[in-house]
Amino acid sequence: MLHELTHRLADRWDITVIAPAHEGSRSHDAQVPFAVHRTRTAWHDSRVAVLADMTRLTARARPEMLLAGHLNALPPTVMAGRRKPTIALVYGSEVWAPWTRLLTRVLGTRVDLAMAISRFTASEAAKAGIPRDRIVLTPLGATPPAIPNGADAVLRGLGLISGKQIVPFFLTVSRLTERQKGHEIFLHALPALLARFPDVRYVIAGEGQLAGELSALATRLRVRHAVCMPGAVDERTKAALMASCRAFVMASRESRRPAFFEGFGLVFIEAALAGRPSLAGDSGGVPDSVIDGQTGVLVDPRSLPAVIEGALRLLEDPAYADALGERARARALRNYTWGAAIERMERCMESVLP
């Protein structure tokens, strides 16, 4: 999101980015259309050193306005900015983490505006200490996928074409590092789905430490033959999968320990831009991304019967799934492209300038 914001505004705003040291950043920083100043210390080495260095670099830049790209950046933003207009970006689960919650309690009242990516995130930001009347909704955007030539070859290579027909499949794309994404509940739903639709498949795209655990669970449930786990996929493969699935599925649930939830659910917007509906957990900021009965199906992410019922509805009525997908695409193109998202953010930025 910060990449899109800085690059899209670089031709109209004089932008300086202050960021922590990062291996390999020199070649990246030399190619961007704005100034980048790095701290001497990496974030994982010393938060205190990074924040002190960011404060020094920010003061030296003498900005007219400051934007904290994450609540972690509140100290240098507020201390170096002093009486300059300040904005903070709020995504979601960071307001539950002890460190950032402390920062927000202490410094949240010092920001002029907070841009929250969903109604749920806005509510959590207010509970964490940012005055409610300074919080503005600024949902994120996504890039419409470019459906590749030869998409059928991609699907055939993954075993998703039988004869000349694409088999009905559900798709999840995510890092396999966060249990709250709900992969396991959909795996538990598969036996019931296969009993009615023997050719249904579940594609889990992504990599992480949960991959082996999910594969083992599928084996125990005797559904491993119906589960495709291609690992991390490139944009070409992702676009082909998004455009061809019966629905994108992610039954995300709220987990305050370790403070994970969907702050907005950008991946649901990516599916919408591909013209496909979502089967989504009714939690966190997801209801801002998926409108139940209009652009997808929202279910209780902790209820296996609810997940099964939602999936069966999409399997039994392909025309219904397609209609949801078309409405999802129209809504996403209207409200959730990067152009629309950055325009919202720029209006907020302009509103705090003298």
The per-residue pLDDT string of the chain (354 residues; one tens digit each, 9 = 90 and over) reads 999 999 999 999 999 999 999 999 999 999 999 999 999 999 999 999 999 999 999 999 999 999 999 999 999 998 886 789 999 999 988 888 888 889 999 999 999 999 999 999 999 999 999 999 999 999 999 998 888 788 899 999 999 999 889 999 999 999 998 888 999 999 999 999 999 999 999 999 999 999 999 999 999 999 999 999 999 999 999 999 999 999 999 999 887 665 577 888 899 999 999 999 999 999 989 999 999 999 999 999 999 999 999 999 999 999 999 999 999 999 999 999 999 999 999 999 999 998
345 and 276 assigned to the same domain: no
Contact criterion met (CB below 8 Å) for 200 and 168: yes
As given in the structure block, the two tokens for residue 340 are: 């629309």
Q: Buried b vs exposed e over 6-30: b needs ≥16 C-beta within 10 Å?
A: bebbeeebebbbbbbeeeeeeeebe
Domain-located, residue 146: no
Q: What is the pLDDT of residues 155-199, one digit of tens each?
A: 999 999 998 899 999 999 999 988 889 999 999 999 999 999 999
pTM comes to: 0.90
Range of 11's domain? 2-141+337-352
Q: pLDDT by residue (tens digit) across 72-130?
A: 999 999 888 678 999 999 998 888 888 888 999 999 999 999 999 999 999 999 999 99
- Answer yes or no: are the C-beta atoms of 278 and 248 closer than 8 Å: yes
- Cβ-count burial of 31 within 10 angstroms (0-12 exposed, 13-18 middle, 19+ buried)? exposed
Q: For residues 108 and 205, state if they share a domain.
A: no
Tally of domains within the chain = 2
The 3-state DSSP class for residue 179 equals helix
By residue count, the chain amounts to 354
What the block records as the tokens of 149 is 């030539």
Angle at 169 between CA 164 and CA 170, to 5 degrees: 160
> Is there a single domain that holds both residue 80 and residue 160?
no
Cβ of 102: how many Cβ atoms within 10 Å? Answer: 12
Whether residue 77 lies inside any domain: the answer is yes
SS3 content of the chain, % helix, strand, coil (to 5): 50, 15, 35
